[in-house]
Amino acid sequence: MSAPSRIGIVGTGRAARALAAALGRSLPEGALCVWGRNETGAREIAQRVGAVHADAPEDLLARAEVLLLAVRDDAVTEVAARLARALEPGRGAACEVALHLAGAVPATALAPLAARGMSCGVFHPVVALVDETSAARLAGATATVSGDPRARAAAVALARRLGMVALEVRDEARAAVHLACVMAAGDVVTLLGLAEELLAGAGVAADDARRLLAALARSAADAFESCGAAGGLTGPVPRGDAATLARHRDALPDEGEAGAVHRALTASRLLLADGGRVKVCGFGHARRMERSDRPIRSGRATHRVRI
């Protein structure tokens, strides 16, 4: 399927704003249409990117070839049902494909539209979208796609238009794929927040801490991309530095999230450095291991370290 030339965006949140900004630059004038249950928000987005504001679902469906439902995960089916009511026989609509953006939700969430004869699928941009300025991050990023053949083809064509890489996944695997994405994004940001708190306790200003940590995280991500988890692992564990691990343990607060998270991940890093595979230990297990010694290799020697 060739890249859709007329696209309708449903929604007014972060993803809707970012996609509207990106598509507003790549589509001809009048080819992008925006509708949302929040009419004020939809009008604002349309004005910002030079798109057409649809006053009603019927207007959106008459203008767009492909719909992008950029709404909350738990609202996908509800919004699809509302759009389906506007597709009743005799009303006329140009729209043939509907794609939602919810990474953990299968294409079957669009069942009300499928029942009206539309091809349905998922187009999930795997990138942190915080506002319309995030549009620049789409190019080069991956979008996971699934759905019926025509919907998948439309999703792949859309990814190509945005300069993204399309990765086809099974609908039944969506929850696991999305969980992996959350671990690589939301969980990493949580770790960075905990690291920022430790730096604040050490007297480092917030701006300096964020700059330091963001640059370090980017370099770690680059190493992971090049070498994988085992090859990209750095720090005291792979080099067998038991003394530094002991200093880290002493520097951690006795209680709190940072200590529990660090102990659990240190246990995982020990196993990763030893066998090349990650085995995640739960926080409860990590706490039980606090007073236990774990072996750590340093060259040919093996030391024991408390974590």
pLDDT in tens, 189-209: 999 999 999 999 999 999 999
Average pLDDT over residues 264-291: 51
- Residue 62's domain spans which residues? 7-171
For residue 287, the model assigns a pLDDT of 40
Which of the pair, 255 or 301, is modelled with greater confidence? Answer: 255
For residue 100, the model assigns a pLDDT of 98
282 has pLDDT over 60: no
Residues facing residue 98 across a β-bridge: 67, 120
CATH of the domain at 40: 3.40.50.720
Q: Is residue 176 in a domain?
A: no
Separation CA 279–CA 263 (nearest Å): 13
Confidence of residue 230 (pLDDT cuts 50, 70, 90): confident
The DSSP H or E segment spanning 305 is strand 301-306
Which of the pair, 290 or 60, is modelled with greater confidence? Answer: 60
Which of the pair, 168 or 251, is modelled with greater confidence? Answer: 168
> Tokens standing for 172?
């039944």
For residue 13, the model assigns a pLDDT of 95
Report how many domains make up the chain.
2
The crossing angle, in degrees rounded to 10, of helices 14-26 and 39-49 is 30
Q: Are residues 151 and 261 located together in one domain of the fold?
A: no
Give the residue from 128, 144, 171 where a domain finishes: 171
Average pLDDT over residues 11-39: 95
Confidence of residue 237 (pLDDT cuts 50, 70, 90): confident
For residue 130, the model assigns a pLDDT of 83
Compute CA distances 92 → 6, 31, 85, 267, whole Å.
16, 18, 12, 60
Q: Is residue 293 in a domain?
A: yes
